[in-house]
Amino acid sequence: MTAALITSPPSCANAAALQRGQRLIYLMGASGSGKDTLLRLLRTTLQPHEPVLVAHRYITRPSSGDESSVALNPVEFQRRVDLGCFALHWHSHNLHYGIGIEIDAWLAGGAVVVINGSRAYLAQAHTRYPRLTAIEVTTRPDVLAARLRQRGRETPRQIQARLERATRAYAVPATCAVRSLPNNAAPEGAAGQLLMIARALLPVQETSR
């Protein structure tokens, strides 16, 4: 299946209410850079009154304990593609990933939404949400290699392939500014910076309580 962008109108009637992704954070980075850990820390440090939501991903593999995802088999994933259930979906490492169309309702309701995206599909995401905030989690090669070995999901050859992939250039739209978020030490530091970015997108009345 070729990766595609869902371009049908969102279920929320007023597309302008989505603010063209003005409150959407597109978090990306190499596998092993620590995105799932940062998102988990973000969820646990948010205050109850702060309307910041972390979207789970739909993936065609079993979910692990360190990520927020829903496992689907390939048939069910394709069924949801056909039904327009995904705002974005892509194929990477022989797996299919999707972000649910429900994020459009969250954005229309005024929430800041954080999604775990892919660098290779930033351009497609930016086409749908041209005012999104793109953040790349960056990690030194030695730290990245250690994390990949520790999680025990890949063979040495696969780890080497991921390390090589981590340094490859990817397409960045001319009107899209990518912010770098280093994550080489304790993840609490990077998670704190991510939280500050999310809070900066909230309306003033939400951050001043």
- The predicted pLDDT at position 15 comes to 53
Residue 6 falls inside a structural domain: no
CA-closest candidate to residue 106, choices 200, 208, 2, 12: 12
Residue 205 falls inside a structural domain: no
Which of 21-25, 93-97, 163-167 is the most confident on average?
21-25
The count of other CB atoms within 10 Å of the CB of residue 60 is: 18
DSSP state of 136: E
- The predicted pLDDT at position 8 comes to 42
Determine the structural domain holding residue 174 and report its residue range.
18-55+110-198
Residue 71 falls inside a structural domain: no
Residue 22 falls inside a structural domain: yes
Residue 37 falls inside a structural domain: yes
Residue 3 falls inside a structural domain: no
99-132 tens-digit pLDDT = 999 999 999 999 999 999 999 999 999 999 999 9
CATH code (residue 174): 3.40.50.300
Q: What is the pTM of this model?
A: 0.83
Spatial contact of 17 and 125, defined as CB atoms under 8 Å apart? no
Q: What six digits make up the tokens of 55?
A: 């979207």
End-to-end CA distance of the chain: 47
Residue 48 falls inside a structural domain: yes
Look at the chain and report how many structural domains it folds into. Answer: 1
Residue 78 falls inside a structural domain: no
Q: Please give the residue that has the higher pLDDT: either 154 or 5.
A: 154
